[in-house]
């Protein structure tokens, strides 16, 4: 039986080099919307996205600035985690949005929207639900019908079941994205956690960690408008 672990701040410590890399990237005069890296040419990342995860103020000792994460930030981090594990794959939130629009309009999702679906491991026949606020008790039947349609060529989710994994509980209204990223990391790394409500201090630790991980491989020069260049 896997050991169930309590939250440990030691696991998410980032070193001075990572902290300085974040600080350098998040300061100065730059185009915050410019894409600085992508995963599989599908999941872009900009400075604006990084700032939504870990604002430069959060690198200080006492700041508590915690904005909502951008959709692209969450998509990028989850895709980054999936890329590092051969048993997992990621879908962006926009995939489901496109499916949903087609489903509402036609009650059928066009094959053209499914061409780039990753190969998924259906061996367990489970839809795993991660709800950090613990407000979800079941998947809406219309959403299930949509998913059955999407995967109609792969069995249509016949005999599948919903599972609700134990995860950290969210006690605020702004850190939803961080809990998504952390749940994905725990799943990919097969880390079983105990159910516990995380404090804002712990959320701050996770934001710094995920921010540092997201730019770990961003090694190109980032040039300021004023001509200064920071080499990572």
Residues 181-208 have pLDDT tens digits of 998 899 888 888 999 999 999 999 999 9
Residue 169 DSSP class: B
Q: pLDDT-derived band of residue 3, with 50, 70 and 90 as boundaries?
A: low
4 to 47, 164, 199, 228: CA distances (angstroms): 35, 16, 19, 48
Q: Candidates 3.90.550, 3.40.395, 2.60.40, 1.10.472; correct CATH number of 9-230? A: 3.40.395
Residue 231 has pLDDT above 60, yes or no: no
What pLDDT is attached to residue 188? 86
Q: Which is higher by pLDDT, 57 or 166? A: 57
Q: What is the mean pLDDT of residues 12-26?
A: 93
Q: pLDDT-derived band of residue 112, with 50, 70 and 90 as boundaries?
A: low
Count Cβ neighbours within 10 Å for each residue of 11-34 and write b for 16 or more, e otherwise. ebebeeebeebbeebbeeebeeee
Residue 122 has pLDDT above 70, yes or no: no
Q: Which is higher by pLDDT, 180 or 99? A: 180
56 to 47, 85, 94, 172: CA distances (angstroms): 11, 30, 28, 21
**Long-range CB contacts (< 8 A, 24+ apart) of 96-100?**
99/146, 99/150, 100/146
| Cα gap 72→222, rounded to integer Å | 20
> Which has the minimum average pLDDT: 88-97, 131-140, 153-162?
88-97
Put residue 73 in one of left, alpha, beta given phi > 0 → left and psi -120 to 50 → alpha: alpha
Question: CA torsion, points 161, 165, 171, 174, in degrees to nearest 10?
Answer: -70
pTM of the full structure: 0.81
Question: CA torsion, points 90, 182, 137, 194, in degrees to nearest 10?
Answer: 140
| Cα gap 119→213, rounded to integer Å | 25
Name 117's Cβ contacts closer than 8 Å, sequence gap at least 6: 91, 95, 150
What residue spans of 84-223 are helical by DSSP H?
93-106, 141-150, 176-188, 200-214
| Cα gap 184→189, rounded to integer Å | 8
pLDDT in tens, 55-92: 999 998 778 889 999 989 999 998 899 886 655 555 66
Nearest to 51 by CA among 76, 68, 75: 68
3-state DSSP call for residue 130?
coil
Residue-wise DSSP of 199-218 = PHHHHHHHHHHHHHHHTTT-
Residue 226 has pLDDT above 60, yes or no: no
Residue 18 has pLDDT above 90, yes or no: yes
Q: pLDDT-derived band of residue 100, with 50, 70 and 90 as boundaries?
A: low
């Amino acid at each position: 039986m896997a050991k169930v672990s309590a939250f440990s701040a030691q696991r998410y410590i980032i070193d001075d080099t990572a902290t300085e890399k974040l600080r350098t990237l998040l300061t100065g005069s730059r185009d915050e919307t410019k894409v600085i890296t992508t995963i599989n040419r599908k999941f872009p990342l900009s400075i604006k996205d990084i700032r939504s995860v870990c604002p430069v103020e959060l690198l200080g000792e006492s700041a508590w600035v915690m904005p909502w994460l951008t959709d692209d930030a969450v998509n990028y981090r989850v895709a980054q985690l999936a890329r590092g594990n051969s048993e997992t794959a990621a879908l962006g939130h926009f995939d489901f949005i496109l499916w949903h629009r087609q489903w509402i309009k036609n009650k059928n999702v066009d094959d053209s929207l499914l061409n780039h679906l990753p190969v998924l491991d259906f061996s367990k026949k489970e839809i795993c639900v991660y709800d950090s606020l613990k407000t979800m008790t079941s998947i809406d039947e219309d959403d299930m019908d949509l998913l059955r349609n999407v995967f109609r060529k792969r069995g249509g989710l016949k005999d599948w079941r919903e599972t609700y994994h134990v995860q950290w509980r969210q006690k605020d209204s702004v850190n939803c994205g961080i809990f998504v990223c952390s749940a994905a990391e725990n799943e990919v790394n097969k880390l079983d956690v105990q159910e516990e409500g995380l404090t804002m201090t712990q959320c701050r630790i996770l934001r710094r960690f995920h921010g540092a991980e997201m730019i770990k491989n961003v090694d190109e020069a980032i040039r300021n408008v004023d001509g200064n260049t920071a080499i990572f």
